Amino acid sequence: MFRLNKLVSSFVLFGIVVANAATFIPLSFEQQVNESYGVIKGSYISSVSKKLPTGEVVTESIFRVTEFSGIKNHEIINKNNFKILHPGGRWQGVMYHVDGSPSFEPEKEVVLLLTKTAHGFVPTNLALGKYEIYKSAGVDYLRSSVFPNHARLGKIKLDVALNSFKKYFGSNLQPVNHDKFVYKGNVQETIANTPLADGQNRTPASNDELDKEDFGDLGILAVVVIFALLGFFSAYSMRPHRKK
């Protein structure tokens, strides 16, 4: 449940009630991280409104992700096209406004705490899960977009935030090392002595391995020959012989 003081409940996103008019409760940063599935650091690119199968109108915002924690590699299929959902938007000429839903500025880098739902990722506690990045006296900080002047949420040292990520997600923010994730499955490749794209050769199998393979083939052939000979002699011995 979103930590909001609900005044008017009229919108449901993914089975969670959201208020049309609401005020946020300033939860501690560590508690927000604890309630989240993961976190991304990235810049906003664009957004589009859509209607879910449940009939709810949402905005799908696209981000270019540079770092992440808690989220699995295969869940970031394309780091330049990472999508999150938040309630409200314009659908067929009608504006669906939901208080508490976050807004974003193009190319501005943010840190987003995320919750995973059946329809995709949503900011944890909506706008409360959005943090801006700034530097002061050579030190990097995070600042809550909802409580920018709050004594604790308005000035969170990045090192403190990273410790929370490591505590609850198992790692600090780490870079995305792939542009697009391709699932290869559990495929075993046979090493062959074929040239690579850069002109180098693959490592050939050792002589011992080749000898073992050759010996295996010869062994099978020998067994076949032995059984064939045994069959021949058995058939020959059972034939009636003419008396001289």
Q: What is the mean pLDDT of residues 5-9?
A: 33
For residue 243, what pLDDT band results from cuts at 50, 70 and 90? very low
Q: For the whole model, what pTM was predicted?
A: 0.68
What pLDDT does 222 receive? 55
Contact 100, 4 (CB under 8 A): yes
Q: What is the mean pLDDT of residues 180-195?
A: 48
Q: What DSSP state is assigned to residue 74? A: G
- Taking only the tens place, the pLDDT of each residue in 30-49 is 999 999 999 999 999 999 99
- Token pair, residue 28, equals 């501690």
pLDDT exceeds cutoff 80 at 105: yes
The domain segmentation of the chain, as residue ranges, is 4-175, 204-239
The residues near 54 (Cβ < 8 Å, ≥ 6 apart) are 12, 14
What pLDDT does 212 receive? 44
**Strand spans (E) along the chain:** 4-13, 16-24, 38-51, 57-69, 82-87, 89-91, 94-96, 109-117, 120-123, 130-136, 139-144, 156-157, 174-175
pLDDT exceeds cutoff 70 at 162: yes
Q: What is the mean pLDDT of residues 113-125?
A: 96
Beta bridge partners of 139: 136
What is the rounded distance in angstroms from the CA atom of residue 113 to the CA atom of residue 49?
21
For residue 23, what pLDDT band results from cuts at 50, 70 and 90? confident
Cα-trace Rg, the chain? 32
What pLDDT does 228 receive? 58
pLDDT exceeds cutoff 60 at 207: no
For residue 181, what pLDDT band results from cuts at 50, 70 and 90? low
